[in-house]
Structure 1
Amino acid sequence: MAINDQVILITGGARGIGLETAKAFAARGARLVLTDLDSPALDEAVAAIGADKALGIVADVTDLAAMEAAVAAAVERFGRLDSVLANAGIASYGSVLAIDPAAFQRTLDINVVGVFNTARAAIPELEKTKGYLLVVSSLAAFAAAPGLAAYNASKAGAEHFANALRLEVAHLGIGVGCAHMSWIDTPLVQDAKSDLPTFQELLSKLPPPLNKTTDVDSCVKAFVKSVDKRSRHVYCPGWVRGAGLNRNVINSAVGNLPVLRLVPDILPRMDAEVRALGRSTSARNIANDKRKAGGEG
């Protein structure tokens, strides 16, 4: 089905890749349903796209009932659901011994359980339209970095969830894709760089091309193409595909050597920065958690 005929739901749609991809879909005539915990940013996103083309729903992806309600609202407003972009995700900071356990849990809850809840809520409607679901994973799924164990684990989990889901729903006519991107210049990466100078230092010292940051526009184009083509796999930039094919080499004793040389110096300094912050995730994520606790999602 052409994008101009589709109703597309995007989680984490209030900013970053989610918002920019929504704008690109809207420019091609699609109708959008955006979910997020950040109510003010969500209102701004809908206004930017146009209230006639977009519906904003405050919902926490870790809440299955909230996601089911979001899907129901999408169908009530636009009559159908054709594609879903399971995009919502967060990062957390610090080594396994330094990270706040609650931040580790929250990262897994949003990045893995949130994808499950999104899929679980959407599949009945996607079956009706023979639709498509794109799970947003990451280069981090197969190229681990010290101090980011929660993010690495969650994105690897999201990838394999997509692989299993694809097998389960193919006979229903539903396509499932999985997207892997290098570090993207979004609020998630920008916040990490701002909070932790050692994070930016670590990225700069990773062996190329693992140290490369991708622009948002390239990622948006890849996502739009994936929905248009119902792609099984999406890589942005293209070299990420090679990293995935060579993940066993990257994670071998030899492949680990460049990063292992950095750990004794960078990781203790990163943990010290995390302790000085007094939090193991971005201030933006803390604010969204407060919104959730206040009953907005």
Structure 2
Amino acid sequence: MSRSEDQVVLITGGARGIGAEVAKSLAARGAKVVITDLDETALAETAATIGDNALAVVADVCDLAAMQAAADTTLERFGRIDVVVANAGIASYGSVMAVDPAAFKRVLDINVLGVFHTARATVPALVDSQGYLLVVSSLAAFAAAPGLAAYNASKAGAEHFANALRLELAHQGVDVGCAHMSWIDTPLVRDAKKDLSSFQDMIKKMPYPLSRTTSVDACVKAFVKGIEKRRRHVYCPGWVRGVGLNRNVVNSAAGSKPVLKFVPDLLPRMDAEVAALGRSTSARNLANAENPAAVTDPKD
């Protein structure tokens, strides 16, 4: 019997990528999954693929009332919430002096406030079920990358939010985990590679193993295992743990040298490419920002 069987799992950012694949995997193991996202079309397609064990709820993690409604809908449908995966996240492109301030703010709104809203809406149900909440952070919380300051800051914020929430909820029987992944072959990374040759070059020039890209399948397996074992930390690949333990070295003057070598050439190229695009985020994210009900092109 799978530990996921009959569990009710709410996943934000569940229309595609890691969120969608984790939902599919958990549903296949007997869980009932509720997936939320802004992209109604992709969300419905993912839910249809999963079948009767899935419920799709269009909701913006930036809106606390919307997330509360999603939690209430889950309770009405399934009677409980056992696991929450705060997975929704986006990135912006460009240096601090060139990035669109509105895009920078939206990254923080989704990646940090979105996690808070998700927790605020679901923690009471998790207390009732003695459940588990997994906050999705990133390797970016440990090792900064030029041109991704908003993403770096937001994922570090998400990690420390999880640390604080863990302390607050432990005595109530709720476990809180935090996931850290390297570059994963998700729509977020593929969109950035498609938009910017400089982004592709940056990944290639990162010191090994920071230059490696991992499959979504490997990430999903790590997430599912972490959820079922209610782990404090989830790493994908495993070497990310070592980067976290040595983050002070990675961000030291000596540790920054390999990156500093390519910044003078790469960052101006990235800013020029962003200016030519006319946007500091992916087309999909821009469409959702301008119209939360927008149907975007799910080129996953």
Q: Which residue of 1 aligns with 2:252?
A: 252
- How far apart, in 2, do the equivalents of 1:36 and 1:182 lie? 23
Alpha-carbon shift at residue 293 of structure 1 (Å):
7.0
Cα contact 1:18–1:87 (8 A) shared by 2: yes
2:38 counterpart of 1:37: yes
Alpha-carbon shift at residue 96 of structure 1 (Å):
0.2
Q: Which residue of 2 aligns with 1:225?
A: 225
Cα contact 1:10–1:84 (8 A) shared by 2: yes
- Structure 1 outlier segments of 4+, above 4 Å: none
- How far apart, in 2, do the equivalents of 1:293 and 1:23 lie? 24
Give, as a single letter, the amino acid of the residue that structure 1 aligns with 2:206: L
Cα contact 1:84–1:132 (8 A) shared by 2: yes
Cα contact 1:37–1:291 (8 A) shared by 2: no
2:272 counterpart of 1:287: no
Give, as a single letter, the amino acid of the residue that structure 2 aligns with 1:229: K
Q: Secondary structure of 1:270's match? A: helix
TM-score, with structure 1 as normaliser: 0.97
2:11 counterpart of 1:4: no
Q: How does 1:1-297 map to 2 (within 5 A)?
A: 2-50=3-51, 52-292=52-292
Alpha-carbon shift at residue 288 of structure 1 (Å):
1.3
- Deviation sequence 1:122-159 (CA, Å, 0-9, x none): 00000000000000000000100000000000000000
Give, as a single letter, the amino acid of the residue that structure 2 aligns with 1:290: E
Q: Secondary structure of 1:198's match? A: helix
Alpha-carbon shift at residue 263 of structure 1 (Å):
0.6
Q: Secondary structure of 1:292's match? A: coil
- How far apart, in 2, do the equivalents of 1:132 and 1:236 lie? 19
Give, as a single letter, the amino acid of the residue that structure 2 aligns with 1:60: D
Q: Which residue of 1 aligns with 2:298?
A: none
Give me the identity figure in percent: 72
- How far apart, in 2, do the equivalents of 1:90 and 1:72 lie? 25
Q: Secondary structure of 2:89's match? A: coil
Structure 2: unaligned runs, 5 residues or longer:
295-300
Structure 1: unaligned runs, 5 residues or longer:
none
Cα contact 1:38–1:291 (8 A) shared by 2: no
- How far apart, in 1, do the equivalents of 2:191 and 2:149 lie? 17
Give, as a single letter, the amino acid of the residue that structure 1 aligns with 2:203: L
Cα contact 1:3–1:228 (8 A) shared by 2: yes
Cα contact 1:89–1:110 (8 A) shared by 2: yes
- How far apart, in 1, do the equivalents of 2:293 and 2:59 lie? 12
Cα contact 2:33–2:55 (8 A) shared by 1: yes
- How far apart, in 1, do the equivalents of 2:21 and 2:172 lie? 30
TM-score, with structure 2 as normaliser: 0.96
- How far apart, in 1, do the equivalents of 2:115 and 2:14 lie? 14
Q: Secondary structure of 2:24's match? A: helix
Instruction: After superposing the two structures, state which structure 1 stretch, 13-22 or 283-292, moved more.
Output: 283-292
Q: Secondary structure of 2:9's match? A: strand
CA RMSD of aligned residues (A): 0.9
- How far apart, in 2, do the equivalents of 1:273 and 1:289 lie? 21
Give, as a single letter, the amino acid of the residue that structure 1 aligns with 2:92: S
Alpha-carbon shift at residue 23 of structure 1 (Å):
0.4
Alpha-carbon shift at residue 2 of structure 1 (Å):
2.1
Give, as a single letter, the amino acid of the residue that structure 2 aligns with 1:134: L
Q: Secondary structure of 2:249's match? A: helix
Cα contact 2:40–2:293 (8 A) shared by 1: no
